[in-house]
């Protein structure tokens, strides 16, 4: 993504995006104001949130598309509204075949300048994302990869002094790493499997500045990760344990934030086989892995003063003569035994061992896991909100603060002891399903059985990591959910 900050003015062949508040429907340009008057009187553009209006303007012999977008009432503005409005306006500018887009910096004192700049760049960068590398025909969509944005303001000199370039740089990295996560999710399971996911993590490490260690099957066996290996056993593709380390705070070497991402590069359900409809999107079952790879990339690139280790237990859940079966009793790295009642509840098994590994071998002091874990999360909260289970409310409050900056919504579910009883087995220590009720909670609490005494947050991103319909700044497919929120949480600590 190409983006710079420059003086706002008319340049031939560039579309201009002007965001306007409903209660402040005017610009410094009298000709534009005349058009605004006209549109307002006709009722075709009132500045209501999400409204779009476009026209062509010629000034000093130069012609450009003007795209107006409504922000609603100024007192209701926030970062997420800015992202959405800019995303929508940019999609219109793209429909009008523009490749260079000029955005006028939103002028408001209701949101801090750094957040305005970040939200504008994120909205623009994320809304122009495409996944079309597998299309043979060169088409319009493909061209839009070369989008060039600039953010501008007529009073550039006052604003320049305020570090706008730094905010733009930060947002650019967040866009790039969110797109990395989207790409990883959108790649099909025949190109992204444990080995290639590990290769992508290594590449990201080299590019963004973190260290990656990849453990192969023999080493995973030596660690006695029996739960992880049981899930992996049915596939021809060998599992990988991907460990990513970033030490940005050497004075506090013993303080390490642990991130764990579910890395099922494909989930067929195993012997508890999914119906086709449920299986077609299961290349996305490594959305948690994509999120932690994206997040540690952003954290490293922006050199946050914090220590972070991210772990992904990558494997495929498949059917074969070697696969684990409903009724099996398996072990785990922590030593707990697990009765497998459903092979489709596989994510929690891989995560249990990944969590034990990151606590015992990497010595992290806190754990956040992200997982496309349960269909029940979609039933409970839909596709807009990530479900959270925790053993420490103050840790959750930190997440809420980060989510307010990123605009990614989270909601806490209860974790009462009553729910913990639901995953106790008659013949083993635990069972891997808790029945139909409270599925997202019992799945989370299963992982919670392995966090020992560590503060822990579990984010079930089953609803938020993937979308079937394009939205203001996303398209159908992987959303990159979690990357920006994890970054903001780390930044607030650094």
* Catalytic positions: 274, 348
With beta carbons less than 8 A apart as the criterion, state whether 369 and 386 touch.
no
d(CA 114, CA 164) in angstroms, rounded, equals 7
Footprint of Mn ion on residues 330-349 (CB under 5 A)? 344, 346
Instruction: Confirm whether residue 305 is marked as ligand binding.
Output: no
Rg (CA), the chain: 24
Stretch that binds Zn ion, among 129-137, 190-198, 224-232, 266-274 (CB under 5 A): 266-274
Q: Is 376 in the site for ligand BES (CB under 6 A)?
A: yes
Which of residues 74, 122, 267, 366 is near ligand BES by CB under 6 A? 267
Which residues are CB-neighbours of 70 under 8 A, at least 6 positions away?
19, 20, 21, 22, 45, 46, 47, 48, 49, 50, 51, 52, 85
d(CA 493, CA 252) in angstroms, rounded, equals 12
Which of residues 51, 122, 346, 369 is near ligand BES by CB under 6 A? 346
Q: Which is nearer to ligand BES, 204 or 433 (CB)?
A: 433
With beta carbons less than 8 A apart as the criterion, state whether 416 and 441 touch.
no
Burial of residue 275, with CB atoms counted within 10 A of its CB: 0-12 exposed, 13-18 middle, 19 or more buried: exposed
Q: Is 344 in the site for ligand BES (CB under 6 A)?
A: yes
DSSP assigned state of 24: B
Instruction: Confirm whether residue 195 is marked as ligand binding.
Output: no
Q: Is 374 in the site for ligand BES (CB under 6 A)?
A: yes
With beta carbons less than 8 A apart as the criterion, state whether 239 and 223 touch.
no
Q: Are strands 329-330 and 338-339 parallel, antiparallel or unpaired?
A: antiparallel
Residue nearest to ligand BES (CB): 375
Instruction: Confirm whether residue 353 is marked as ligand binding.
Output: no
> Would you state the structure tokens that stand for residue 214, as one six-digit string?
């990849």
- Nearest approach in angstroms of CB 373 to ligand BES is 6
> Would you state the structure tokens that stand for residue 72, as one six-digit string?
């609603």
Instruction: Confirm whether residue 112 is marked as ligand binding.
Output: no
Residue nearest to Zn ion (CB): 267
Which of residues 154, 209, 326, 375 is near ligand BES by CB under 6 A? 375
Stretch that binds ligand BES, among 95-103, 320-328, 337-345, 386-394 (CB under 6 A): 337-345
- Nearest approach in angstroms of CB 436 to ligand BES is 8
Stretch that binds ligand BES, among 242-250, 374-382, 408-416, 444-452 (CB under 6 A): 374-382
Burial 169-207 (b: 16+ CB within 10 A, else e): ebbbbbbbbbbbbbbbbbbebeebbbebbbebbbebbee
- Nearest approach in angstroms of CB 419 to Mn ion is 20
Footprint of Zn ion on residues 347-406 (CB under 5 A)? 347
Q: Which is nearer to ligand BES, 248 or 287 (CB)?
A: 287
d(CA 356, CA 359) in angstroms, rounded, equals 5
Which of residues 74, 226, 285, 408 is near Zn ion by CB under 5 A? 285
Q: Is 267 in the site for Zn ion (CB under 5 A)?
A: yes
Q: Is 347 in the site for ligand BES (CB under 6 A)?
A: yes
- Nearest approach in angstroms of CB 462 to Mn ion is 10
Binding-residue pattern over the window 226 to 265 for ligand BES, x denoting contact by CB under 6 A: ----------------------------------------
Q: Is 433 in the site for ligand BES (CB under 6 A)?
A: yes
Q: What are phi and psi of 301, to 5 degrees?
A: -60, -40
Stretch that binds ligand BES, among 170-178, 209-217, 342-350, 357-365 (CB under 6 A): 342-350
Footprint of Mn ion on residues 225-284 (CB under 5 A)? 267
CB hemisphere CA count around 23 (13 angstroms):
7
Instruction: Confirm whether residue 262 is marked as ligand binding.
Output: yes
- Nearest approach in angstroms of CB 376 to ligand BES is 6
Which residues are CB-neighbours of 418 under 8 A, at least 6 positions away?
none
d(CA 147, CA 161) in angstroms, rounded, equals 27
Burial of residue 435, with CB atoms counted within 10 A of its CB: 0-12 exposed, 13-18 middle, 19 or more buried: exposed
Residue numbers of the site for Mn ion (CB under 5 A)? 267, 344, 346
Residue numbers of the site for ligand BES (CB under 6 A)? 267, 285, 342, 344-347, 372-376, 433, 439, 462
State the binding site for Mn(2+). 262, 267, 285, 344, 346
Residue numbers of the site for Zn ion (CB under 5 A)? 264, 267, 285, 347
């Amino acid at each position: 993504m190409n983006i710079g900050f420059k003086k706002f003015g008319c340049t031939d062949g560039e579309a201009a995006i002007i965001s306007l508040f409903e209660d402040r429907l005017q610009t410094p340009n009298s000709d534009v104001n005349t058009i605004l008057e006209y549109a307002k009187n006709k009722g075709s553009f009132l500045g209501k949130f999400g409204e779009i209006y476009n026209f062509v303007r010629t000034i000093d012999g130069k012609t450009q598309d003007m795209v107006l977008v409504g922000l609603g009432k100024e007192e209701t503005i926030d970062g997420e509204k800015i992202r959405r409005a800019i995303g929508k306006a940019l999609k219109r500018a793209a429909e009008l075949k523009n490749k260079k887009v000029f955005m006028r910096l939103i002028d408001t004192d209701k949101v801090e300048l750094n957040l305005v700049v970040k939200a504008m760049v994120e909205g623009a960068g994320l809304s122009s994302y495409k996944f079309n590398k597998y299309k043979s025909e060169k088409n319009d969509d493909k061209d839009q990869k070369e989008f060039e944005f600039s953010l501008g303001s007529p009073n550039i000199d006052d604003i320049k002094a305020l570090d706008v370039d730094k905010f733009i740089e930060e947002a650019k990295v967040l866009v790039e790493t969110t797109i990395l996560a989207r790409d990883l999710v959108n790649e099909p399971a025949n190109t992204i499997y444990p080995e290639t996911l590990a290769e992508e993590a290594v590449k990201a490490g080299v590019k963004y500045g973190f260290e990656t260690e990849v453990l192969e099957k023999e080493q995973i066996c030596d660690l006695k990760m029996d739960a992880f290996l049981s899930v992996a056993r049915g596939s021809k593709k060998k599992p990988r344990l991907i460990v990513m380390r970033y030490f940005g705070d050497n004075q506090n070497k013993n303080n390490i934030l642990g991130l764990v991402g579910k890395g099922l590069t494909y989930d067929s359900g195993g012997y508890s086989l999914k119906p086709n409809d449920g299986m077609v999107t299961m290349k996305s079952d490594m959305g948690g892995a994509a999120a932690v790879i994206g997040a540690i990339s952003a954290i490293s690139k922006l050199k946050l003063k914090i220590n972070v280790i991210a772990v992904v237990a990558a494997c495929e859940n498949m059917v074969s003569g070697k696969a684990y079966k409903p009724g099996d009793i398996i072990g785990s790295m922590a030593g707990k035994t697990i009765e497998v009642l459903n092979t489709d509840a596989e994510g929690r098994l891989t995560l249990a061992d990944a969590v034990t590994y990151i606590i015992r071998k990497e010595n992290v002091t806190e754990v956040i896991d992200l997982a496309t874990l349960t269909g029940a999360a979609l039933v409970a909260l839909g596709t807009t909100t990530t479900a959270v289970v925790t053993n420490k409310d103050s840790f959750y409050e930190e997440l809420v603060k980060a989510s307010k900056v990123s605009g990614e919504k989270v909601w806490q579910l209860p974790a009462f002891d009553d729910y913990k009883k639901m995953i106790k087995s008659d013949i083993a220590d635990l069972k891997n399903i808790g029945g139909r009720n409270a599925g997202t909670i019992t799945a989370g609490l299963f992982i919670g059985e392995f966090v020992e005494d560590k503060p822990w947050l579990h984010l079930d991103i089953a609803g938020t990591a993937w979308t079937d319909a394009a939205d203001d700044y996303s398209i159908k497919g992987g959303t990159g959910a979690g990357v920006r929120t994890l970054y903001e949480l780390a930044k607030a600590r650094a």
